[in-house]
Amino acid sequence: MILQDYFQEIFTRQKDNAPVIATTNATERIAKLKKLQKFLLDHVEEACEATYMDFRKPHAETIIGELLVLISEISYTIKNLPKWMRPERQAVPLTMLGTSAYIQYEAKGNVLIMSPWNYPIALAIKPLVSAIAAGCVVMVKPSEMTPHSSAFLRKVLSTVFPPDEVALVEGDAEVAGRLLKLPFNHIFFTGSPAVGKIVMKAAAENLASVTLELGGKSPAIVDASADLEATARRIVWAKFFNNGQTCIAPDYILADHSIVDKLIRELKVALSEMYADVKSSPSYGRIVNHKHFDRLCACLDDALEKGAELVIGGQRDENERFLAPTILMQVNENMKVMQEEIFGPILPIVTFKKLPEAVAFVNNKEKPLALYIHSVESEHIDYVLKNTTSGNALVNEVLTQFGNTEIPFGGVNNSGIGKSNGFYGFKEFSNDKGVMKRRFGTLKFLYPPYSTKLVTLLKKGLRWI
């Protein structure tokens, strides 16, 4: 069977089944989520081994960054789904006298989820949880860069769901391109802004809605009031977790010039305490493949050739795809590390003298997926929050927005479109249909033929609204 015919067959089977799945009730959807949750809990070791085989991700990081997030998301959805599915009663304006209104959430239908390699389990299944909650049928296309994790996903999905409801499709960029030609109702893509534009363009051909979780250069602003010991530990953990291959990792630090020396000392202490002999540390992963390893090394070399100061790190081993946690000073806008998302264990530091300088520096770039503020000065915190735009903003905290089921997660413009997490994920895969019902009265007096008296009344009515 030709590849496109195979995809078309799966798509058609799911499309035929979509109206049935869309009418399932909360109890039926919760049963599926419970089955998915049980499978994940019963196969924790298998999940950890899969990600370790792909890029030596520490088991603790798989549990924290992949499974804990998923179990939390599923539990929260199970608890709240009956409430989310109930019609939301809405007030009606005076002009709609005699009617009632409510919002009814209905499934968008056929969904494509395209997930990346950096969190290969979580970023495939987390949006799937929301799609199941909304009553959609789903095709999941994981990254080809993490084959062991994809094999684990295949086992999960084929065990828990029938293929006419949820199906895994594996392959490279050519497969992704073929899938994007199918008339999905919604596409959920996680990846780079460059590929996000391709996805959005393809979706436009079928007028499909999209959720794009992208990335960008997420700054960590550290002012002179910050608790530098705690801040350094937070930033080191967030930046080098998963070897820096996290879309919401701090991409660079903006530090007040008066505290930068002390901050660097605390960063070095934190690195030593967390990783010690980093190359042999079981807590430090590896770059996913040689292509990305070479890209990161080229970025580092470019910075050093253009005058960047190597504060710590820089050691590398091509055979192991090992790149040590690296901190740079004296960076500038002509360096690749300050022009593109790093997505690896390289951390540049830029200094500022006044907070408006830091804000201007952030605003001169594309809107980031995350922005981190480290300060105890309320006035400084409020100033940054008011004068910057980002998908999420965290104060004296890092990374945890992805696992907070109570707030929306996602980007803005270049860093993404649409939101996920909890109710916001459910809503993303739903059409929030407005429904109106007339309870009494009639609008006959508005029907033609229009009299001069009616026009006079309408003109006066404009001032009553």
Domains of the chain: 3-214+413-433 (3.40.605.10), 219-403 (3.40.309.10)
Residue 4 has a pLDDT of 67
Residue 105 has a pLDDT of 97
Report pTM: 0.95
- Residue (of 373, 365, 372) closest to 333 by Cα position: 365
Residue 445 has a pLDDT of 84
Active site residues: 213, 247
The contacts of residue 17 (CB under 8 Å, 6+ apart) are 137, 164, 165
The contacts of residue 202 (CB under 8 Å, 6+ apart) are 177, 180, 181, 187
Residue 145 has a pLDDT of 96
Residue 2 has a pLDDT of 60
Q: Let me know: does 65 contact 121? Beta carbons within 8 Å.
A: no
Q: How, if at all, do strands 346-352 and 326-329 pair? A: parallel
pLDDT along the chain (465 residues), means of 10: 78 97 98 98 98 97 97 98 97 88 97 98 98 98 97 98 97 93 97 96 97 96 98 98 97 98 98 96 97 98 98 97 98 96 98 98 97 98 98 97 96 97 98 94 86 92 83
Residue 463 has a pLDDT of 86
Return the number of other C-beta atoms located less than 10 Å from residue 149's C-beta.
28
Residue 44 has a pLDDT of 98
Q: Let me know: does 18 contact 167? Beta carbons within 8 Å.
A: no
Residue 380 CA to residue 361 CA, distance in Å, equals 16
- Residue (of 406, 426, 110, 365) closest to 418 by Cα position: 426
Looking at the DSSP bridge assignments, the partners of residue 168 are: 140
Residue 389 has a pLDDT of 98
Q: Let me know: does 18 contact 164? Beta carbons within 8 Å.
A: no
- Residue (of 186, 214, 218) closest to 202 by Cα position: 186
